[in-house]
Amino acid sequence: MQDFRYKGLLDDIDGLQTYQALADITTPSLRDYQCVDLLHLLSVKTFVCMYDTGLGKTFLAGGFLKALKNAKEGNKFLIFTTNAFMEGFAKEITNITGLRCVCYTESPSYVLSPVQLSSVDVVVMTHGCLNVPEHMRALSFYLSEFSAIVVDELHLVSNFNESKRGSMLQSILSRFEYKLGLTATPITTDEQQLAKALHLINPSAVPDWKKFTLDIKNYGSSIIDPSLRDLFIVRQREYNNHKGYLLEVNPLPHQRGAKGEGMFYDTKGYGATNNHEAVYQLTQIHNGQRGLIYSNLKLVQSALCEALLERGVKALVINGDMSREKKSQLAESYRNGDYDVVITNITESIDLTSDYVVFYEYTSHVKQVIGRAERTLESKSLPIYILITKETDEMDYFYRNVYCKCQIVEDILDMDLSEITKFRRGNYF
């Protein structure tokens, strides 16, 4: 194990009695649980970190790289992340560690060079670069210059048998001693994804991911060898302090009986003044606070945004069709307080810290949406509102596609919707 005693780290890491030395390696300081995980990571060298959104996986990565940098000033690092999150990830690494980063997208016209490498500490590439021969050729010349690798959103590139980028990443990972895989996705509930991720990051420990998958499915997690448990950590947020409210909205004549694929255009789109008013009332209840509103359909997003703007609410839309630069610009404006509410269908890789959440439409990615609003290490109470249009199939749709699939929804609502046809309680607008 390298010597990590630089800049305040205690001489005997194995006998560390306080995590303060590790905590102060980033600004702001790492939390106790992050220090525990960082200490373990530096010891085992290969690690998969599964943090719920908002628990600070980027901080852990920053602490990991900073510790290695402190051990040897000349150390350089390689990061792979998603296209959507690349700039934000690099910026946060720089802010919390002071390490200099350079970013590369899939464009083959701008690839790694010795001049660029000499002027930075961290090279950040998108997952898509793994498919670009020009990037991989340039990287191969300098791969020995890097001391550690971090792969963000590891589950997205763990299908190594089916994708070129997964195979390429596996080859690159084999060249590193220090390697960290990150994901905010709870893949421990998906045995196959967990097996693939562990195989990708450490194939010698999990040589046969298919057998590993079957063993867990057949015998449960107790079958996992203790040595394998050292390869990953799962940390989940406590959602007990969130309170959910199911709000039933009286229908307009044209909405009664709405069902099927076009249901939300009728119940939540243009002309849905009842639901527009319901959201407006929520913004007034939370006057002075920022709200995140989940809506998937672009037409529905536009209709709601226009309705709120007409009522004097400073609303904006951020959706997946926008460029990375545009999304980052709007998200920063929202965080700076230029807007009251943000309407979005984005469930990952963007910071939209808010004071309350409204599910105007529905998604099974409830935890991820809440995580967009809760991008803070501090535990806070978030009111969660779910709008249902009465006398339509929205309740049945919500029950089948969200409530039955997401334990968190049942927990925050604290009510039983199993007798769906008999359910007619709650708050009304």
Q: What is the pLDDT of residue 293?
A: 97
Tokens 């002075």 map to which residue?
288
Q: What is the pLDDT of residue 90?
A: 94
CA–CA distance, 389 with 250 (Å, rounded to integer): 6
Q: What is the pLDDT of residue 106?
A: 93
- Range(s) within the chain of domains with CATH label 3.40.50.300: 243-428
Residue 260 region, left (φ>0) first, then alpha (ψ -120 to 50), else beta?
left
Contacts of 28 (CB under 8 A, 6+ apart): 96
Q: In this structure, what are the phi and psi dihedrals at residue 249, rounded to the nearest 5 degrees?
A: -110, 130
Torsion of CA 116, 118, 120, 123, to 10 degrees: 60
Q: Please tell us whether the domain made up of 243-428 is placed in CATH 3.40.718.10.
A: no
| Nearest by Cα to 40 from 56, 7, 11, 16 | 16
What DSSP line would sit under 96-122, residue for residue?
HH---EEEE-S-TTS---HHHHHT-SE
CA–CA distance, 114 with 118 (Å, rounded to integer): 6
CA–CA distance, 351 with 333 (Å, rounded to integer): 11
CB atoms within 10 A of CB 47: 24
Q: What is the pLDDT of residue 265?
A: 96
Q: 366, exposed or middle or buried, with CB in 10 Å at 0-12, 13-18, 19+?
A: buried
Is-contact 367 52, C-beta < 8 A? yes
Structure-token pair, residue 366: 């409830």
CA–CA distance, 407 with 405 (Å, rounded to integer): 7
Is-contact 348 369, C-beta < 8 A? no
CA–CA distance, 48 with 311 (Å, rounded to integer): 47
CA–CA distance, 324 with 14 (Å, rounded to integer): 43
Is-contact 232 49, C-beta < 8 A? yes
CA–CA distance, 296 with 195 (Å, rounded to integer): 31
CA–CA distance, 152 with 122 (Å, rounded to integer): 14
CA–CA distance, 340 with 366 (Å, rounded to integer): 21
Q: Which CATH number fits domain 13-235: 3.30.360.30, 3.40.50.10810, 3.30.420.40, 3.40.710.10?
A: 3.40.50.10810
End-to-end CA distance of the chain, in Å? 63
- Range(s) within the chain of domains with CATH label 3.40.50.10810: 13-235
Distances (CA, A) of 78 to 75, 101, 120: 10, 10, 11
User: What are 126's strand-pairing partners?
Assistant: 81
Q: What is the pLDDT of residue 220?
A: 72
Q: What is the pLDDT of residue 26?
A: 85
Beta strands in 315-355 (DSSP E): 315-318, 341-344
Q: What is the pLDDT of residue 16?
A: 45
Structure-token pair, residue 3: 């010597």
pLDDT tens track, the chain, 429 positions = 333 332 333 333 444 444 566 777 888 888 888 888 998 898 899 999 988 877 888 999 999 999 999 888 899 999 999 887 888 899 999 999 999 999 999 999 999 999 999 999 999 999 999 999 999 999 999 999 999 999 998 888 876 555 788 889 999 999 999 999 998 755 445 677 778 888 888 888 889 888 888 887 787 767 777 778 788 888 877 766 788 999 999 999 999 999 988 999 999 999 999 999 999 999 999 999 999 999 999 999 999 999 999 999 999 999 988 887 888 889 999 999 999 999 999 776 678 889 999 999 999 888 888 888 887 656 678 899 999 999 999 999 999 889 888 888 888 887 666 544 344 444 444
Q: 4, exposed or middle or buried, with CB in 10 Å at 0-12, 13-18, 19+?
A: buried
Three-state DSSP class for residue 60: helix
Tokens 């302090």 map to which residue?
241
CA–CA distance, 53 with 237 (Å, rounded to integer): 8
Q: What is the pLDDT of residue 19?
A: 53
Contacts of 279 (CB under 8 A, 6+ apart): 293, 304, 307, 308, 358, 360, 387
Three-state DSSP class for residue 311: coil
CA–CA distance, 301 with 297 (Å, rounded to integer): 6
